[in-house]
Amino acid sequence: MDTLDNILLYTENISKNFQGIKAVNNVNFKIYKNEIRALIGPNGAGKTTFVSLLCGRINASAGKVVFCGEDISDLPVFERISNGIGYTFQITSIFVNLTVYENVALAIRKDNSNGEENSVSEVLSKVGLLDRIEQRSGDLSYGHQRLLELAMGMAQKPKLLILDEPTQGLSDSEIENFKKLIKDISSSTTILLIEHNMDVVMSIADNISVLHFGEIIADGDKETIQNDPIVQKAYLGD
């Protein structure tokens, strides 16, 4: 159902030019509440630029972003995050000199209240890092750092969680764990997932959008995308 109530976020003709290069070109995009939406496309398609426009890391050259019925195009990044957009980085970006606890506590973004410890423990137990709570996060293995990055996204309790290639560089068993976790998070949060690993996309995404040279060339459920001849040829293999 394509009603406004159902839409969590949409863009209208959003564009971003980098010195004449159209990184994102007139994109009209919708994401519905409680879905897992995968955003795929080859390297350089503009995926990270596009989600950066959604969360405000990059200012759009034109167009608008509407989140929960409110035009957020002119809001600075921290206000968009406060309004309920969470973002996890493609290249792990944690506070390496702080402990695992402090990383998650910062993401919760509340005062040192009594509930903080419980909330941190709850999130860390979900991702399986509770036993490393006092460890310096820079000393964690790469896989654990990716988990911490995800935990920080979860701790924000966002309405929309943008995951930028969360499984990049992980082993198969770690990827399986991630898939379960993302499914688990999706029960309470809408997820926009940028992902190269088609196995991950096909097993957890509800719908898929395909970005190519800064434009959405296909949009729909997995079957539609799988059967789309252009997409099939270009991204999924024959």
Partner 1 sequence: MRKDLILHFGALAILLFLELLGVFSDYHQGNFARILVLAAYGIGYNVLFGYTGLLSLGHALFFSAGLYASGLSIYHLDYNVGQSLILAICFSAFFSLVIGYLALRTVGVSFMIVTLMFSQVGYLCILYFGGITRGDEGIVIQQSSRVFLSLDLSDPTIRYYAALIIFSLCLIFNLWIAKSSFGRVLIAIRENSDRALMLGYNVHLYKLFAVIISGTISGLAGACYGILFGYVGASFAAVPYSIFPLLWVLIGGVGTVLGPLVGAIFMFYLIDYASDITDAYMIIVGITLLVVTLYARRGLLGELRYRYFKWIP
Q: Which residues bind partner 1 (CB under 8 A)?
A: 55, 57, 76-79, 81-82, 87, 89, 93-98, 102, 105-107, 109-112, 152, 156
Nearer to partner 1, 77 or 236 (CB): 77
Nearer to partner 1, 134 or 223 (CB): 134
Rounded to a whole number of angstroms, the minimum distance from the CB of residue 128 to partner 1 is: 22
List Cβ neighbours of 3 (8 Å cut-off, separation of 6 or more).
none
Q: Look at strands 7-18 and 62-67 and give their pairing.
A: antiparallel
Structure tokens at 121: 């423990």
Task: Give Cα 84 distance to the centre of its chain.
Answer: 12
b/e sequence 181-213, b meaning 16+ C-beta within 10 Å? bbeebbeebbbbbbbebbebbeebbebbbbbbe
Place of tokens 């309920």: 84
Nearer to partner 1, 36 or 162 (CB): 162
Q: Are 86 and 78 in contact (CB under 8 A)?
A: no
Nearer to partner 1, 24 or 148 (CB): 148
Rounded to a whole number of angstroms, the minimum distance from the CB of residue 59 to partner 1 is: 14
**Burial class of residue 66 (count of CB atoms within 10 Å of its CB; 0-12, 13-18, 19+):** middle
Nearer to partner 1, 72 or 105 (CB): 105
Rounded to a whole number of angstroms, the minimum distance from the CB of residue 65 to partner 1 is: 16
